[in-house]
Structure formats: C-alpha cells, structure tokens
Structure 1
Amino acid sequence: MLRILKSHESGRLVELDLNTLEKGAWINIIDPTPYELKIVGELTNVEPDFLRSALDDEERSHTDVEDDAIMVLTNVPVMRSYESYDTLPLALILTKEYIITVCLEETPVLSEFNERSSRFFRTFKKTRFLFQILYKSATFYLRYLRQISKLSDEVEHMLRDSMRNRDILRLLELQKGLTYFNAALRSDGAVLDKLLRLRTNPQTQPILKMYEEDEDLLEDVIIENKQAREMVEMYSKILARLADTFSSIISNNQNLVMKFLAAMTIILAIPTVISSFFGMNVPVPLATSADAFLVIAGLSVSIAGFMAFVLWRHNMF
C-alpha cells in the first residue's frame, strides 16, 4: 500500500498521488510491491537498498548515510494479541525534499499520524517529523510495558491459586515479548545517539536540519528510550524471578506428593504382608479359630495405625 500525504501551513493534511507529488510530502509505504518500490525509488532518487531495508523482519536498528539521503531503521513495538508482543522494523528515509517510511505492516505508531492529529505535526518539517515518529514509538513501548506489568500481576495471582500450564505459558509469552523489547530498545538507543552526533556533521546538515526545538525533541526521545530500557530490565528481572519462584513451588509440591505417596505405600504394605503370612498354604496360628479374620484384621489395622502415627510425627503427611 502506498499513501502520500502533505501538511499545509494551516495544519490540514492533504492526500496526494504519484502524479501530484510535491516537495515536503510524506510517502508512507506499507507491505510494498516491487512496482511500488521501483516507482518511489525513481521519483525520489533513493537507493533501492534503503527502501528494502525494512522488509526483513529480523533487521536490527541502524543508520545509513548517503549523499542525498539518510536512512534511519528503527524497531517499533507491535501487539500481536492480548498477551503477545513483538517488534517490527520501520525505515525512515529523509531526502532533501521528502520523508519516506517503509514497513511490512500497518503499525499503531504511524497510524497516530492522521487527519485527526494533523495539527500536531508538519510533513514538510522532515527532521522534526522524524523525531516525532521516534518519540511516538518510545511512548508505545512504555504503554505496552505497563500492559505487560498488569498482565504479569494477573498471572501471578492466578498461579497462586492453581498451577495450570496455561498460566505458565502466559508467563513465558510475556518474557518473550520483553526479550524482543530489550533487544530493540538497545539498538534504537544506539541509533538515537548517532543521530545526536550527526547534527554537527557537515555532510548531513543539508538533509538533517536541526533547530533548537528539534534538538530538545531528540533529547526527549533519548530520555523516553532510556526509561523504556530501564523498565524492560526491571520487568524482565521480576518475571524471571517469578518464573523461578513458581518453578520451585512446583518442585516442592511434587516432593510433597511423592512423600505422601511413599507414606501411604508403607501403611498399605503392612496389611498386605500380614495377610500374606496368614494366607500361606502351611499350618499357621489361628487356622482353626472362628475369629481368625477379625483378629488378623484388627492386628493389621493396629500396626498400620501405629505406623501412620509414627510417619505423622515425622511430618510425612
């Protein structure tokens, strides 16, 4: 999908097409076809590798600089389901005339920049718009991390009541999402630091024009990214310790069950041994007594009861 938008001075967002492409437009490409990549590359003189960089879902964040373009590849958070979180590469390409975004899927980060919020951004202020997208990505990381925190508390309360496999797998899914977030935020942090250094690079100044407000916004993005990394590390440690704790609880419960079964085996073995002695095909005491069954049963119950008392005193139950 290819969509071209441009802000007017009044803040109104206007949609263009390839035939009416104007300077200062935002070219948003989602899950592009080869034809779309080719035509955009020809119209904007952008390297094809820049446009294809975000099509690899395993691509890590980095920054590339060419003579006429700067490509910032970042990883944005996505929520696959209520408990499943992932990251997705997003390429942000700045040229002297346009800003281009390329992504494999429609993401909530880019969806926030629409007609309803058009008064808060200007597509022709390319550097500021770039930092606004990065800032929005950082805020979504923080939002999803708060959701993960609430979900982990919910799973913890459920595991306190019953050890179900489904709840343990939910815990594993949250840990996996935090692992993705941690790797993405670290690489994004390196990209932000490089952007901060590029402001003094004469080669990039014609494209990456930074004013004081832009530098303040970039510093805000770095602060948000750092906060998100700290939250990821904290929640990762909490979930890891939570998983270790419940693993120990499961092992302890298993030991208690095995101890109980061993005690019951000892108690039930006593009547079995006694009945085996009196059931042998040889002369045995009480063989001619009419009360032999009651005596043997009483003896078995008495000894079994005594053994049960001894095991209870030794905390086997």
Structure 2
Amino acid sequence: MMRVFSTMGGKIEQIENAGKGSWVCLSDPTDVELAGLAQDTGIDLADLRAPLDDEERSRVDVEDDYTMVIVDIPTAEERDGRDFYETIPLSIIVTEDLIITVCMQDTPLLHPFMEGTIRGFNTFMKSRFILQILYRNASMYLRYLRIIDRESDKLELKLRHSMQNREILMLLELSKALVYFATSLKSNEIVLEKMTGLDRIKQYPDDEDLLGDVITENKQAIEMANIYSSVLSGMTDAFGSIVSNNVNNVMRIFTIISISLSVPTLIFSMYGMNFQDGMLGMPLSGRPWGFIAVVILSTVLTGFVTWILTRSRFFK
C-alpha cells in the first residue's frame, strides 16, 4: 500500500500525488507500486526492495541522487493469543524532493506521523523527520523491553508453582526476542554514528540536540536489552536446575519404592518354590496361620527397609 502525505498549513494531510516536500509511505508494497515509484524518482528498484527482506542489515547508503538509511524496528506479532516480539527493517530514502519510507508491514511506528500527533513534524524538513523516526524507534524499543520485563516477571511467578513446558517455552521466546533487540539496537547505533558525519542531508539548528537525544535513547535501550537478557538467561538456567532437581527427587522416590517392594517380592517368591516330600519345608508353611504370619513379617520388613532408605544420606 502506498500513501502520500504532505504538511499543509501546519497540518499533515494525505494527498493523491507526490510533490516537492512530500512523504511517500510504502507499507507491504506491491511490485507495481515499487516499479512505478522507481521509474518516477530514479531510485534503484533493488534499493526499494531491500527492506522487504527481513534479514536486511542496518546501513547507510549514499548514492548520486538519493541517500538511503535502513534501520531495524521492533514489532509484535500475535500468535496463539499472545505477542511474539521480533525486528524488521525499515528504510528511509531521501531525495531532493521527497522522503520515502518502505517497510514490509504497516508499522505502528509511523502512525503518529500520519495522524499529525508528533510535535514539530514537517514533511519538508527531511533531516528532522529522519531523526524523529529514529527517536520514536528507540522509544518503541524501550516500551517493548518494559513489556517483556513484565511478562518475564509473570512467567517467573507461574514457574514457581508449576513447571509446565508452555511457560518454559515462553521464557525462551522472550529470551530470543531480547537477543534480537540487542543485536538490532547495536546495528542502529552504527547507523547513528554514520549519520553524525553525513553532510548530504541538510541539518537544521535543533537537529543536533535531537540527534543527541536519539543516541541517548538508543544507548539506554541497548543497556536495558543487555540487562534484561542477562536476567532472563540467569532465570532460565535457574529454572532448568530446578527442573533437573525435581526429576532427581522423583527418581529418588521411585528408587525407594522399587527397593522396598523387592523385599516382599523376594519373600513370596521363595515361598512359591516347590519342595519334594520329605525335605525340610519353608518356615511356618505347615501352620494354618502361617500365611498371615508371613504377610505380617514381609510388611514389617518392608516398612523397616523403607524407613532406613528415607533416612539414608544416599537418598537425601
């Protein structure tokens, strides 16, 4: 889908055709839209397609007629009733007349710009627009990181009461999301460093302060992602040890039960042997109350063996 916006009278409005100072927003674009835009603007079609590959790396490319900035942005995908977090590329292409954004999906990152709720946003001020997008991108990372932290706390409470595979798998998904976030944020940091020395895009007086704010927000997001990743990794290892310990406790109980049951099994198997006439029989086998006596004896011995095993240091 291709939408065109322009600032008119201090307000952002959607227009039909792109003109000087317009913003062209491409969300999950078709081949026809990409080919038409490439023909109208002279941008290489391969550059327009670049952010549609989810493995595309963050970078800054300076061409003769345009400059392309690709950054990774966070996104949440709902699966099985819950959100899964990952990152996707977003490209910002600046030409002499236009600023173009291309993304493989309609990202909420750009919605406030379309709605005109970003203070100081103007489609004619290209460098400030780029920095405002990057600032909001870093802010979205921070927001998603706080959500992930709250979800990990909820999972920790659930895992204290029950060790279900579902909770452990959810914990691993959050850990994977944090790895993606940390990697993408570091790549975005390299892009910001390159932008500080980029003279191609016109700078405005307030852009230097805004760039500093973007760098600060991005560094804070990197630190939070690393901290949460370390905490989650430690939590995963701890619960893995707890699961292993629980398995050992179950095996301990089964071992005690198995050894205890071997006592009456041994006794009754001996009494089940056939003896020839005239040979010495088993004790109490000739008594009418012998069977009851053997059962009581085996029960007492089984209880004694169980008591010994439960207090043995080998089964603690």
TM superposition score category, shorter chain reference: over 0.9
The residue correspondences of 1:1-317 to structure 2 (distance < 5 A) are 1-8=1-8, 10-18=9-17, 21-81=18-78, 82-117=82-117, 120-198=120-198, 201=199, 204=200, 208-282=201-275, 283-314=281-312, 316=315
Shift of 1:115: 2.8
Shift of 1:172: 1.2
Shift of 1:128: 0.1
Residues 100-119 of structure 1: CA deviation (Å, up to 9, x unaligned): 00111000101121234165
Amino acid at match of 2:63: E
Unaligned runs of at least 5 residues, structure 1: none
Shift of 1:48: 2.0
Residues 216-250 of structure 1: CA deviation (Å, up to 9, x unaligned): 11111111111111111111111111111111001
Residues 163-205 of structure 1: CA deviation (Å, up to 9, x unaligned): 001101111111121121112111111000000121xx4xx1x
TM score, norm. by length of structure 1: 0.93
CA distance in 2, matches of 1:271, 1:53: 74
Shift of 1:209: 0.9
Aligned with 1:3: secondary structure?
A: strand
Q: Is the CA contact (8 Å cut-off) linking 1:11 and 1:119 kept in structure 2?
A: no
Shift of 1:254: 0.5
Amino acid at match of 1:314: S
Higher mean alpha-carbon deviation, 67-76 vs 305-314, is at: 305-314
Amino acid at match of 2:35: K
Amino acid at match of 1:84: F
Amino acid at match of 2:50: S
Shift of 1:47: 2.4
Shift of 1:63: 0.5
Unaligned runs of at least 5 residues, structure 2: 276-280
Amino acid at match of 2:250: V
Aligned with 2:306: secondary structure?
A: helix
Cα distance change, pair 239–44 in 1 and its aligned pair in 2 (3 A): same
Aligned with 2:43: secondary structure?
A: coil
Q: Is the CA contact (8 Å cut-off) linking 1:83 and 1:151 kept in structure 2?
A: no
Q: Is the CA contact (8 Å cut-off) linking 1:83 and 1:170 kept in structure 2?
A: no
Q: Is the CA contact (8 Å cut-off) linking 2:5 and 2:24 kept in structure 1?
A: yes
CA distance in 1, matches of 2:93, 2:232: 37
TM score, norm. by length of structure 2: 0.94
CA distance in 2, matches of 1:250, 1:192: 44
CA distance in 2, matches of 1:269, 1:231: 57
Q: Is the CA contact (8 Å cut-off) linking 1:78 and 1:88 kept in structure 2?
A: yes
CA distance in 1, matches of 2:62, 2:264: 85
CA distance in 1, matches of 2:212, 2:34: 33
Shift of 1:161: 0.2
Shift of 1:33: 1.7
Amino acid at match of 1:275: F
CA distance in 2, matches of 1:134, 1:70: 16
Q: Percent identical across equivalent pairs?
A: 45
CA distance in 2, matches of 1:295, 1:133: 87
Q: Is the CA contact (8 Å cut-off) linking 1:7 and 1:118 kept in structure 2?
A: no
CA distance in 1, matches of 2:306, 2:170: 41
Amino acid at match of 2:287: S
Cα distance change, pair 24–265 in 1 and its aligned pair in 2 (3 A): same
CA distance in 1, matches of 2:259, 2:115: 77
Cα distance change, pair 118–154 in 1 and its aligned pair in 2 (3 A): closer
Aligned with 1:140: secondary structure?
A: helix
Residues 132-184 of structure 1: CA deviation (Å, up to 9, x unaligned): 01111111000000000000000000000000011011111111211211121
Amino acid at match of 1:124: F
